[in-house]
Structures are given as structure tokens and as C-alpha cells.
Copies of this chain bind each other. A is one copy, B any other.
Amino acid sequence: MQTNPEALKKQVKQMIEFRNDYSEGAHESILQVLCDINRQQHRGYGEDTYCRQSEEILQKMCGQPQAKLHFIPGGTLANLTVIASILRPYQGVIAADTGHINAHETGAIEATGHKVLSLPNKSGKITASDIQMLSRQHWEDETHEHMVQPGMVYISNTTELGSIYSLDELKNISNVCRELQLPLFLDGARLGYALASRGCDLDLQDIAQYCDVFTMGMTKQGALFGEAVVILNPDLQTDFRYSIKQRGGMLAKGWLMGLQFEALMQDDLYFDLSKHAVSLAMQLREGLEKLGVSFFADSPSNQQFPILPNKVINKLRDSFGFQIIQKADENSSIIRFCTSWATREEDVRALLEAVARAIA
């Protein structure tokens, strides 16, 4: 097959993308190390040196020497693998109605046999007291054997609305979960952005202390791909590699993810990239506020949800990529702008100028 050798490189850039935080490849230091070690030979399936070293790094970062680290290529696959490995068949997972597993994974959890027990979200979050009430209602119902038994709790940080959990909120949820014997799973597809958020008062060690399992997203935070799954609770560690293999997440070249994790953790690159994204998101937010724009959700992180007149939206669409979430009213809509580790300050400025022009 003869294809045009230049075709792969030139793809004309038409848009500035704020559509999501996975529009670009990877931080250059990751590409560099991939090239450096390319012809080295590694054990397959995550049993290599990089994966082992990554686990040690992670254990130190978390202050949890018993923590186990696994890599799974994508977020939905990580979520379904973790959840299906924890629940008994008749149990369900408590989550916000806006939670990714409830709303945007095409029923991946149900496909493993489990109901998502949804709670009304509060800015994308759920509360300890709502978990407690759902559990109490279940066990106090005399027909509870006819209902799905709550079996674990899923939260995400940042949430789908860009909000973050405070240390108190996380502690309270964790306390309730431990009291009710419900393992707590934190989906950290955007964990770096959460930790870098304005007003965040918790750190990775808190996450590790209060959760039974959490993920650290790499795809959206500087790597080519991969989610790091951290299992703190020893009861949940048994045979997890069987689960990964069965669900299709055990990559032959698992070391690719171990290597990227190590590179991201080196010199706090993961955290610095996250700060960069959040800082630009705040710049964008403040710029929009100055233009009188209001917001659907009060997000301190890299996702911003302004409400814009449809006329403005239509003008922006030629030059900028973004997602339309839903109607706000007849004439305006909620949209989402994402910044990322790769966003350029000049592009934020260009966007703000374009919004200003469109509004004027």
C-alpha cells in the first residue's frame, strides 16, 4: 500500500480546541523516554521493572506501603473492572446521578450485572448523609431482599461538573462508608486537576487514607494513555489481576503505562501540568466573568461551564472547539470549556477576545 508520506504530519489546524482535555498527545518528556527505551526488552502484562518501580513510587507518595498499583488503558474500563471486582452479584454501587458510571459509560456497570444506585447530585457531588439515608432506607425496608443491596460507593474528583471534594466532605463520606462496610472508590480520571484546584484542602495522602480504591488519570494529564488504579484495602487486592485480564484491560505492553507513570511522577511533573491547566482555567473564568458571563456550576478546576447566548455560541463555533452540554433556556445554552496540561495561554486569550467580540 502506497500512501502519501506527508499526509500523517500535515493535518491542517482549523480550530483551537477547548472541547476536552485529551486533544493532544503527551508531554514531551514522556515521548522522549519512550524513544530512549524503545528497543529495550520487557516482561509483558505489567510484570516489568517500570510497573514495579511505579508501585514503589506510589506507595511512598501515598504513605501507604501496602498499596497495590495496576494500570488499565482507559477510564471506563478501569471503573467497570474495579466495581465488578468488589460487588456481590445482588449489590449495586451508590453514585451521583451525574456520575460518569451512571450517565456516560453506555451501561458498562450494568453490563457487568450491577445497578447504579443514584443519588441526586449537589454540584456533581454526593454527601455522607445521603449515603447514610439510602443505606438506612434499604435496611429498614421490610422487603429489602427484593431490592438491590448497597455494596460500595463511587465518587469522582473532580466531578463531572468540575467541582471538588473538601477534606471534610471526603472524611465524612469515608467514615460513613467504613461504618456501613461499603468500600469507597474514588474515580480520579482528573485527580491531578482536583488537587491543583483553587481551594483544594486535601492531598494525595488524604485520598489514600480515606479511600479503599482510587484511580489517578494519566490520559487527561500528560500521558498518551492509561489510568493508574490504586488499591489500598488489602481485602480488595486479591486476584485483581484476574479481573483485569477478564475484562480485557491487561495490555501486553503494560510497561508502556508504568513508564509513563514514572515519567509523570518525576519532579512532580504530574502536579505541575495540572497546575498549569487550572491556572489557565481560572484565567478563562475570570475573563468571562468580566464579560458578564454567568456559570452553570461553580468549578474551581479545569472544566468551566459558562452559559452563553446561542448567537454567541454560533459565532464561536467556527474557530473554537467546545462541547454544548444542554439548553439553559430558549436563547442560551450551557457549554463546557476544558483546559489541559497542553493548553496555551495565547489560546485562552484568543478565546476571551472572541467571546468579547461575539457578545459586543
Interface positions of A (Cβ within 8 A of B): 1-3, 5, 7-9, 11, 13, 15-17, 19-20, 22-26, 28, 31, 33-45, 49-50, 53, 57, 60-61, 73-81, 84-85, 88-90, 92, 103-108, 110-116, 142-143, 145-149, 219-220, 224-225, 239, 241-243, 245-253, 256, 259, 262-263, 265-268, 321, 323-324, 342
In the complex, how many angstroms separate the beta carbon of A99 from the nearest chain B beta carbon? 13
A106 and B246 within 8 A (CB): yes
- A117, B105: Cα distance in complex, Å: 14
Chain B contacts of A220 at CB under 8 A?
Answer: 252
B60 contacts A242, C-beta separation under 8 Å: no
Contacts of A239 in B (CB 8 A): 88, 90, 149
Q: Is the CB of B104 within 8 A of A7?
A: no
* Closest B residue by C-beta to A264: B1
Q: CB < 8 Å: which of B23, B147, B242, B249 contacts A145?
A: B242
| Bound form: Cα–Cα A11–B267 in Å | 19
Nearest-CB residue, chain B, relative to A144: B242
**Contact of B61 with A1 in the complex, beta carbons under 8 Å:** yes
| B-chain residues with CB within 8 Å of residue A40 when the two chains form the complex | 11, 13, 24-25
Contact B113 A263 (CB under 8 A): no
Complex CA gap A31/B34 in Å reads 8
Give Cα A63–Cα B72 distance, bound, in whole angstroms: 35
What CA separation (Å) do A24 and B39 show in the bound complex?
5
- Given A220-B252, A248-B247, A324-B142; A5-B266 close (CB under 8 Å): yes
Bound Cα distance A28, B2 (Å): 19
Q: Which residue of B lies closest to A219 (CB)?
A: B252
Determine how close the nearest CB of chain B comes to the CB of A259; give it in whole angstroms: 7
- Contact call B37/A9, Cβ cutoff below 8 A: yes
Contacts A74-B250, A115-B107 hold; do A20 and B8 have CB atoms under 8 A apart? no
The residue from B1, B60, B249 contacting A77, defined by CB atoms under 8 A apart: B249
Task: Give me 7 A-to-B residue pairs in the complex whose CB atoms sit less than 8 angstroms apart, sorted by A's number.
Answer: A15-B41, A23-B42, A25-B253, A31-B31, A74-B250, A76-B245, A103-B147
Q: Which residue of B lies closest to A246 (CB)?
A: B106
Instruction: Report the bound CA distance from A31 to B40 in whole Å.
Output: 14
CB-contact partner of A90 in B53, B246, B321, under 8 A: B246
Assembly CA distance A8 to B22 (angstroms): 25
Given A13-B40, A41-B17, A89 and B74 contact (CB-CB distance below 8 Å): no
If the complex has contacts A107-B115, A148-B106, are A248 and B74 also in contact, measured as CB distance less than 8 A?
yes
